[in-house]
Amino acid sequence: MKKVSISIPAYNEEENILAFYEQMLAYIDQELPNYAFEFIFVDDGSQDKTMTLVRELEDQDARVIGIQLSRNYGKEVAMAAGFDHATGDAVITMDADLQHPFSSLKEMMMLWELGYQDVYGKRTTRHGESKLKIAFSNAYYSLLNRMTKEQILSNVGDFRLLDRQVVDALKEVRESTRYTKGLYEWVGFRKIEFQFEAAERFAGKTKWDFAGLAKLAIEGITSYTTRPLKLSTIFGFLVSLSALMYMIFVGIDTMINGIPGTGIPTLTILVLFLGGVQLISLGIIGEYLGRIFIESKKRPLYFVNKKETALKEEHLADGDQTNDTVL
């Protein structure tokens, strides 16, 4: 019997955890009885009762595994933690907010059995998301694909099944600034798409505000392509060429019409324009240097908070000894 790990990154999802588990279990027991499962809940430093509920599920179901990160590292690192702790022949990553339909799991498994190693879901409909957000998302992927060799698919997220071989490949990539959507394409392997409708959140509010999405977009561009550096160089060359042409124009105009009365407005515009170009270029370079600085430290991706687990195991051990004594 093949084993499948379902990895669920979660941050402040106490309103969704139990409903997610119950619906997932009901579907798996009925539709996928020929597979063994483990359910890995990765608590990304939640401030609510998410981990408390996961621990209760651990007590009820031996297939449930709770991984509590020492702080909020972000979803990219939480997914990496799920890959690290998964022991299945395949790993499925799902969000805890029930936006990913369980009805797609059977199709994913069938495609995996046909030999596909990366079975990824493409959203045909995104319920609960504004048209403006969708438009920004499409524009971002269009821009990113113009800058990269590998195609980053639009409307494709982290809802996917990965074969063990793909998971092992991703585990070898330990870069701190992670853009997993790009890594899926970079590691390669045999891929296939399935389509699904993304439902609205079951409860609670999304953790992805505009600032968070903008940060993810910048990380995606700067961690996956060096094209902005080339664009900065080209832009600087064009500005210099424009300045040279303007200088020639001013020289010819001066010889024909004489020295103009004042050039302060023109000088001010040129100084501000060139200053802006320099600051933008320095900002782009700074983004890359910052990532080099972070990677050079070679810090671990994350730490797991093991204190609670250790106390729980110690308590269980004491209980077993007590029972042995009584018997």
Does the pLDDT of residue 324 top 60, yes or no?
no
Which pLDDT band, with edges at 50, 70 and 90, does 218 fall under? Answer: low
Question: Which range has highest mean pLDDT (89-93, 209-213, 305-309)?
Answer: 89-93
**Cα dihedral angle (239, 242, 246, 249), rounded to 10 degrees?**
170
Given this model, what pLDDT does residue 323 score? Answer: 38
User: Which of 81-85, 145-149, 241-245 has the lowest average pLDDT?
Assistant: 145-149
* Nearest partner of 71 among 243, 322, 301, judged by Cα: 301
CA distances for 87 relative to 37, 43, 107, 165, 315, angstroms? 10, 18, 21, 12, 26
Q: What does the alpha-carbon distance between residue 296 and residue 44 come to, in Å, rounded to a whole number?
A: 24
Provide DSSP, 172-186: H---SS--HHHHHHH
> Which tens digits make up the pLDDT trace of 200-213?
654 556 554 555 55
Pair 99, 200: CB distance under 8 Å: yes
Residue of higher predicted confidence among 24 and 124: 24
* Nearest partner of 7 among 49, 60, 54, judged by Cα: 54
Q: What does the alpha-carbon distance between residue 251 and residue 238 come to, in Å, rounded to a whole number?
A: 20
Does the pLDDT of residue 166 top 80, yes or no?
yes
Residue of higher predicted confidence among 254 and 16: 16
Residue of higher predicted confidence among 290 and 165: 165
Average pLDDT (140-153) is 59
- The angle formed by the CA atoms of residues 20, 165 and 192, to the nearest 5 degrees, is 65
Percentage of the chain beyond pLDDT 70 is 61
Contacts of 305 (CB under 8 A, 6+ apart): 68, 69, 70
> Which tens digits make up the pLDDT trace of 266-276?
666 667 667 77
Contacts of 15 (CB under 8 A, 6+ apart): 202, 203, 204
Which pLDDT band, with edges at 50, 70 and 90, does 5 fall under? Answer: very high
User: Which of 23-27, 58-62, 175-179 has the lowest average pLDDT?
Assistant: 175-179
Which pLDDT band, with edges at 50, 70 and 90, does 321 fall under? Answer: very low
**DSSP category for residue 94:** -
Given this model, what pLDDT does residue 164 score? Answer: 92
Contacts of 246 (CB under 8 A, 6+ apart): 270
Given this model, what pLDDT does residue 91 score? Answer: 92
Provide DSSP, 283-307: HHHHHHHHHHHHHHT---S--B--H
Given this model, what pLDDT does residue 271 score? Answer: 72
* Nearest partner of 153 among 176, 119, 130, 177, judged by Cα: 119
